[in-house]
C-alpha cells in the first residue's frame, strides 16, 4: 500500500495534465487543420486531429520538471525526446519526406547515445581481439530508431499504439522496480500517467489521434528506458525489451520482409499489418481487434516478468507464445500466402490443420496449391 501511495503523485500529476491538455491539443489541431489523412488503407472517417501526442509529451515534460532532478543521461534523453517529438509534429503538419523524418530520428538517437552515453555495453568479451564498441554504437542507433518506428507503424487503429505503449511501459517499470531501479520506475510511471490521461479521447471511437509526434515520442522513450535498465551482460536480461515489444517489433519485421518480397519500398504503406489482418481477414470489430492486441502484449509482458524470476519457466512460456504467433502468421499469409513451412510440417506429421476449399484462413486454402501446381 505504501508503494502504491508513493507512486500516485507521479502518475496522477501526469494523468491530470494530459486529461486537461488533450482537448486543448484538439482545438489547436482543428484551428491549424491538422487532420489525419483518409486513404484506401485507413479505417477512420471524418476530420480527426492527429497531434494528440502533444498532450502526452507536455504532460510528461511538466511532470518530470516537477518531480525529477535530471542528470547528464536523463537530460540527453529529454533533449532527444524533444528532437524526435518536433520531427513528428512537423510531419503531422506538413507531411515530411521519409528521409527528412529519418533525419530527426537519427539525430535524436545520436544525441542521447553521444551526450547521454546511453548505449548497449553488454558486448564486452575479453577473448575478442578487436574493439567492438562501434558495433554496440550501431546496434543502439538501430534499436532506438527501430522501436520508435515500430510503435509508429502499429498506430493504425484507435488507441492501439498508445494502449500497447501503456502496457509495455507498465512492464518495464515493474521489472525496473524488481531490479531496484527507482529512476526507471518513476520515468515509466510518469509516462504511463500521461498516456492514461490521453487514452479516454483516443480509444475507439477516437476523437483525436496520437499522431507521428506522439507515436515516435512514446517509442523513443520505450527504447531509451530499455537501454537504461537492461544493458547487462546477461542475454536473457537483454532480451526483456524484445519480449515485451513482441507485437510492434514482429509486425515491423514482417512488414519489411513482406514488402521486400513484393518488390516494394520498405517505407511504402500497405494494408497487411497485424491489425488489418485481424479486422479484414478474420472479421474482428475495431474495438475487439485493439483489445486482442492489448491482451497479446500483456501475455508477452507477463512472460518477461516470469522470466525475470525463473528463466526456465519463462523461456518455455515464451516459446509456446512464439510458436502460436508463428502459426497465426502462416495461417493468415502475413508474409506470403504460400509460405507456411510449419503448417506444412504439421500436416505431414499429424494431419492438421487440414486443407479445405472454403478454409477461413488464406494460407490454408486449397487453391494456392492448385494454382502453384499449374
- Complete DSSP assignment for 77-139: HHHHHHHHHHHHHHHHHH---HHHHHHHHHHHHHHHHHHS--S------TT--S--HHHHHHH
Question: When comparing pLDDT for 353 and 119, which is higher?
Answer: 119
Give the span between the Cα atoms of 165 and 163, in whole angstroms.
5
Name the residue among 153, 130, 79 with its Cα closest to residue 109: 79
Looking up cell 575479453 gives 126
Query: Where is mean pLDDT largest: 224-238, 311-325, 360-374?
Result: 311-325
Q: In 3-state terms, what secondary structure has residue 356?
A: strand
Give the pTM: 0.88
Give the span between the Cα atoms of 163 and 196, in whole angstroms.
8
Residue 372 has pLDDT above 50, yes or no: no
Domain spans, the chain: 2-336, 342-373
Contacts of 276 (CB under 8 A, 6+ apart): 41, 156
Lowest-pLDDT range of 50-64, 87-101, 267-281: 267-281
Mean pLDDT of the chain: 85
Mean pLDDT of the 314-328 span: 92
- pLDDT for 345-369, tens place per residue? 887 888 777 766 444 455 444 343 3
Q: In 3-state terms, what secondary structure has residue 35?
A: strand
Mean pLDDT of the 258-278 span: 78
Amino acid at each position: 500500500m505504501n508503494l502504491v501511495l508513493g507512486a500516485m503523485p507521479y502518475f496522477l500529476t501526469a494523468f491530470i495534465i494530459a486529461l486537461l491538455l488533450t482537448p486543448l491539443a484538439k482545438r489547436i489541431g482543428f484551428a491549424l487543420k491538422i487532420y489525419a489523412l483518409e486513404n484506401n488503407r485507413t479505417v477512420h472517417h471524418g476530420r480527426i486531429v492527429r497531434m494528440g501526442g502533444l498532450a502526452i509529451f507536455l504532460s510528461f515534460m511538466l511532470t518530470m520538471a516537477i518531480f525529477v532532478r535530471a542528470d547528464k543521461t536523463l537530460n540527453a534523453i529529454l533533449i532527444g525526446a524533444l528532437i524526435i517529438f518536433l520531427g513528428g509534429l512537423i510531419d503531422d503538419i506538413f507531411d515530411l519526406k521519409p528521409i527528412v523524418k529519418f533525419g530527426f530520428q537519427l539525430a535524436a538517437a545520436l544525441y542521447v547515445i553521444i551526450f547521454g552515453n546511453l548505449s548497449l555495453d553488454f558486448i564486452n568479451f575479453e577473448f575478442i581481439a578487436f574493439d567492438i564498441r562501434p558495433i554496440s554504437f550501431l546496434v543502439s542507433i538501430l534499436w532506438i530508431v527501430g522501436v520508435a518506428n515500430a510503435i509508429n507503424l502499429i498506430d493504425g487503429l484507435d488507441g492501439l499504439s498508445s494502449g500497447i505503449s501503456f502496457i509495455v511501459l507498465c512492464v518495464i517499470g515493474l521489472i525496473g522496480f524488481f531490479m531496484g531501479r527507482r529512476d526507471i520506475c518513476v520515468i515509466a510511471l510518469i509516462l504511463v500517467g500521461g498516456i492514461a490521461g490521453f487514452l479516454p479521447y483516443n480509444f475507439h471511437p477516437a476523437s483525436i489521434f496520437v499522431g507521428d509526434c506522439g507515436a515516435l515520442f512514446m517509442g523513443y522513450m520505450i527504447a531509451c528506458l530499455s537501454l537504461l535498465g537492461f544493458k547487462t551482460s546477461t542475454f536473457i536480461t537483454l532480451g526483456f525489451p524484445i519480449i515485451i515489444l513482441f507485437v510492434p517489433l514482429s509486425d515491423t519485421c514482417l512488414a519489411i520482409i513482406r514488402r521486400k518480397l513484393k518488390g516494394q519500398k520498405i517505407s511504402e504503406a500497405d494494408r497487411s499489418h497485424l491489425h488489418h489482418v485481424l479486422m479484414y481477414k478474420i472479421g474482428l470489430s475495431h474495438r475487439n481487434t485493439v483489445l486482442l492486441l492489448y491482451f497479446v502484449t500483456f501475455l508477452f509482458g507477463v512472460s518477461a516478468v516470469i522470466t525475470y524470476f525463473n528463466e526456465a519457466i519463462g523461456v518455455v512460456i515464451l516459446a509456446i507464445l512464439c510458436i502460436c504467433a508463428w502459426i497465426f502468421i502462416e495461417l493468415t499469409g502475413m508474409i506470403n500466402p504460400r509460405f507456411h513451412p510449419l503448417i506444412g510440417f504439421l500436416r505431414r506429421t499429424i494431419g492438421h490443420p487440414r486443407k479445405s476449399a472454403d478454409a477461413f484462413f488464406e494460407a490454408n486454402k486449397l487453391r494456392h496449391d492448385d494454382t502453384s501446381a499449374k
